[in-house]
Copies of this chain bind each other. A is one copy, B any other.
Amino acid sequence: MEEKNFVVGVDVGGQTTKIGVVDTRGEVLTQSVIRTDTYGTDAEAYVSALADAIIKVIDAAGKKDEIRGVGVGAPNGNYYTGTIAFAPNLAWAANGSIEFSKMLSEKLGGIPVSLTNDANAAAVGEMAYGVARGMKNFIMITLGTGVGSGIVINGQVVYGHDGFAGELGHTCVVRNNGRTCGCGKQGCLEAYCSAIGVAKTAHEWLEAGDEPSKLRECDTISSKDVYDAAKEGDALALRVFEYTGTLLGRQFADFVAFSAPEAIVLFGGLARAKEFLYDPIMNAMNENLLPIWKGKVKILFSSLKESDAAILGASALAWEL
C-alpha cells in the first residue's frame, strides 16, 4: 500500500474558496480558487464544483493516490457532524443544514473529509506551522469581518458538547445599551472589535462631535480607512484603535481566567493594525487579570502568510484523519 503523505486544505470564505495540496512540512505544492457565491442556494452544485477543483489541484501536484484526506474550514462548520448549518454568509447553507463532509467525500471517491469552522482551522494551522508551534494551551482570535475564535487546550481544539464551542466573538463586552450584533444579541465583542465594529466606532465618534479628522473625507468609512488615518497620526483614528484594543484586552482577561492559556494569538485583517492594538490590549488585559497571571500571558500576532494561512490551517485538520 502506498503511503499517503499529502493532504488537501480547503478554506471556504463567503466570496471565494481556496484549495491547496500540502505536504508534511506545510509546503503548499499547488493551489487554486473557485467562487463560493455563484451557486445561489444550490449546495449540490457548489460541492460538485469544489470536488472538481480539488481533483484538478491534486492532479496538478501529481499526487493522485497519495492524499490522506481533505481538511475544510468553513463558517459554522461542525467537526462532530460534518455539517454546515445556518451560515448567513453562505447562501447555499444559510437556511438549513448541509451534510457537507459526506457529500464532498462521496464526490471524491471516498477520500475522507474533516470539517471545522474557519477560526478553529486557523488555530490548528497556527499550532502546526505558526507562532503557536509547540504550544498546548492558547486561544486564537480572528479579527476579520467578524470576530472568531479557536481554543486549544492540552493540544486539542475545544469543540464542546455539540461541536460549536469557541464563539468568543459573542461574549458580552458592553452590558448596557450595547450595539446590536449580527447575531441578534447586544454588546457582543464582535459588534465592537471586528473590522465592521472599528468602522462603526469611527463613524459614531465623528457623528458625536466636530473634532477634525481625515476620516471626514471618506464617503463610507472602512476599517482600512481608520488604519490609514491612524498611520498618518489622525488623533480620532488613533483613539478608535485604543478603544478597540482596550475592549479586546478586558475580554481577553476573562478568557485567561477560563483556560489559562500561554498566549492569545491574533489573526485576520484587523490584526495588521498590531502597532495600534498591542499596547492597549496588553494594558487592559493586565489591569483585569488576577495577580497570578499579570505580565505572564503573551499576545502574539500570526506569522503565517495570509494567502497560505487559511489553506494550511484547514489542511492540518486532515492529518488527524
Q: Which residues of A contact B (CB under 8 A)?
A: 86, 136-137, 151, 153-154, 156, 158-168, 170-172, 174-175, 183-185, 250, 253-255, 257-262, 288, 290-293, 296
Contact = CB atoms under 8 A, between A and B. Distances in A.
Given A151-B259, A167-B257, A183-B290, 7 more contacts: A167-B290, A168-B257, A171-B254, A172-B254, A172-B288, A175-B250, A185-B288
A292 B175 CA distance: 21
B259 A158 contact: yes
A78 to B, nearest CB: 10
Contacts of A288: 172, 185
Nearest to A186: B288
Contact of A260 (B137, B165, B296): B165
A288 B176 CA distance: 13
Contacts of A296: 162
Chain A at the B interface: mostly helix, strand, loop or mixed?
Answer: loop
A47 B292 CA distance: 25
B290 A160 contact: no
A164 B258 contact: no
